Amino acid sequence: MIAEPPSALRCTSISVRYGDFAALTDVSVAFAPRLIHAVVGQNGAGKTTFARVVAGIVRPVSGTLEIDDREIAAGHVNRSRAAGVELVHQSFALPPSFTVAETMEFGARRGRPIFTRRELEARWARHLENLGVQARLSDRIRDLPVESQQGVEIARALVADARLLILDEPTAVLSPKGVETLFQRLRALKASGVTILLVLHKIREVLAVADTVTVLRGGRLVKGPVAASSVNARELSAAIIGAEAEQSLTVRDEEALIGSDLPAEARTVVASKGSAPAILVADRISTRPDPEGPALGEVSLAIASGEIVGVAGVEGNGQRTLVRALTGLAEIESGRIRLNDEDVAGFSTGERRARGLRVIPFERNSEGLSLLSSLWENWSARQLLQGSPLKFISPARFRAECDSALKRWDVRYSTTLQPAGALSGGNAQKLILAREVDRDAKLVIAAQPTRGLDVGATAFVWRSLRDATARGCGVLLISSDLDELFDISDRLVVMLSGRIAAEFEPPFHLSEVGAAMTGAR
């Protein structure tokens, strides 16, 4: 037998199934120690599942796992941690009410059962300092900005001599500046001997930081690991998207989907739509802070008919409050909101909707749909709210209308009586689109409309929003994906701390927008 080179992690024939769904199929891959390895693929390619298998959170139906050339039992978090594997989750999994010091102690394997707060803080101060994480040990997690939270999460993962650190989509919540800080931190960790497995979907970021690249598609290994220096963005994008899907996408959309780094200047400049009538004019609207987000400070915004205005910003800078204020779910303290030349500031959500306002909410599964209710009930909700609640309805008619609407929107379902929770993420979003992007829509507020969707569904959402503008609709698009914003926005505003920090016309430049997002301008 030929002696194989040492590997930090070796997976052999790993398969994972969720019910009928094969999340990973026969994945065999080995990663060399003390390098940064990127695992890339679209949403739903199995990247997160792969990370969770290595961390012991998900038990594969078959396959073996070796850490540092020693086999460990798969599916046990404790065994994986004992072998030195730590996972930094995509959505942070830190307890919000803990202080930073308590979080560290919670992750540590040794520790005395009784301690004082001061002792804890003394114990972990050095640890954070070494990692360059700037956070006071007595601060509570929920009070930290996202970038510090991620630093703390990484520090938490490293309290117990991690040898293999896995980060699942760590850049999703970061500003471009934050991404650079993260990458520096990762390079420092690599130098100190840690092997890093980075789950990403943006090619630009992969090529900037990774030593090797591994591509997953549809739960299968399609490429790698290969040296990052030996591949270019185009090859990678073909491997990630797959030849078939690639044909149905425009070049521009494809670039936006995978974040490949072509010069932004080369993109077409859309003709100015300044002469079109304004659909929405928000004039210096301010709100009070509430539990759901920071206050708005004199936000002014105008959206013309046929225009897509993008809202960029690090999450938690008032985007949610903006949507709630425009929708009528958050009270405004001062300022005016005009919808189609009508002052709607004093109007309820229902009254604004009756005037053509439509919303694709942030949280598909809680704000957008009632998962336990049937498809037709979810689909009819908006229409049912027009007019008297005591008016008679014919469920059969609504079911028939829902049926034809959902077919038109290419939703995959078996019957309109099935609960909305049985739909996949992409189909659930299409159901919401079918409800919100109707003929009477004048202004569509789309909040994170493509989060968690696969390439096909994402492209579908973009096409739907563009079609809506072609009918004269205005669109306000809130997204944390800059590639998406750059691709489909006609104009871009950046929110920072509840204010509009900057406004951009195309061509958009990543460096300028990124600087505005962090207030570095």
Partner 1 sequence: MQGNLAAVGRALAFVLLALALCGVLFQLAGYSAIEMFESIADGAFLNPNAWQGSLRWAMPLFITACGVVVSFRSGYFNVGAQGQFYMGAIGATFVVDFLNGYPAALVVPLAFVAAIACGALWVAWPGYLRVASGADEVITTLMGNFIASLILIYVTGGILKDPSGTGQVMASRPVAEAYRISSETGLSPAIVGITVAVGVLTWVLVNRTAFGVLSGLAGRNPTMVVWQGARMSQLGLGAFALSGALAGLAGVIEVLGPNGRLVSGFLPTHGFTAILIALVAGLSVAGAAVVSLFFGGLAAASLYLPVLAGLPAAAIDIINAAIALFITARAAPGLKWLLPRRRAVGGG
Bond from prior residue into 6 cis (ω within 30 degrees of 0): no
- Report 334-353 residues binding partner 1 (CB under 8 A): 348-353
Residue 97 binds to partner 1 (criterion: CB under 8 A): no
Please, which of residues 439-498 interact with partner 1 by CB under 8 A? Answer: 447-448
> In the complex, what is the shortest distance from the CB of residue 395 to partner 1, in angstroms, rounded to a whole number?
7
Query: 493: part of which helix (H) or strand (E)?
Result: strand 491-496
Cβ of residue 201: shortest distance to partner 1, in angstroms?
A: 20
Q: Find the shortest distance in angstroms from Cβ 318 to partner 1.
A: 12
**Piece of the chain touching partner 1 by CB under 8 A; list 22-30, 326-334, 457-465, 513-521:** 326-334
Using the rule CB under 8 A, which residue among 382, 403, 472, 510 binds partner 1?
382
Nearer to partner 1, 350 or 507 (CB): 350
Out of 370, 424, 512, 519, the only residue in the binding site for partner 1 (CB under 8 A) is: 370
Distance CA 224, CA 236 (A): 11
Strand arrangement, sheet containing 342-343: 299-304, 278-287, 332-339, 342-343
Beta strands in 110-243 (DSSP E): 164-168, 195-200, 212-217, 220-227
Q: Using the rule CB under 8 A, which residue among 292, 331, 342, 343 binds partner 1?
A: 292
Q: Please say whether the beta carbons of 301 and 323 come within 8 A.
A: no
Judged by CB under 8 A, does residue 413 bind partner 1? no
Q: Which residues contact 151 (CB under 8 A, 6 or more apart)?
A: 131, 132, 133, 134, 135, 185
- How many residues at the interface with partner 1, by CB under 8 A? 46
Q: CA 94, CA 488: separation in Å to the nearest integer?
A: 34
CB-hemisphere CA count at 13 Å for 232?
Answer: 2
The residue range among 12-20, 246-254, 322-330, 334-342 that interacts with partner 1, by the rule CB under 8 A, is: 322-330
The least distance separating partner 1 from the CB of residue 405, rounded to whole angstroms, comes to: 16
Distance CA 477, CA 454 (A): 18
Distance of alpha carbon 179 from alpha carbon 520, whole angstroms = 14
Question: For residues 258 and 476, what is the distance between their CA atoms, to the nearest angstrom?
Answer: 22
| Smallest distance, partner 1 to C-beta of residue 448, A | 7
* Closer of 57 and 354 to partner 1 (Cβ): 354
Which positions from 430 through 449 interact with partner 1, judged by CB under 8 A?
447-448
Q: CB of 179: closest distance to partner 1 in angstroms? A: 20
Question: Which part of the chain contacts partner 1 (CB under 8 A), choosing from 24-32, 105-113, 372-380, 399-407?
Answer: 372-380
Helix (H) / strand (E) containing 177 = helix 176-191
Residues that bind partner 1 (CB under 8 A): 291-293, 315-316, 320, 327-329, 348-354, 359, 361-363, 366-373, 377-378, 380-382, 384-385, 387-395, 447-448
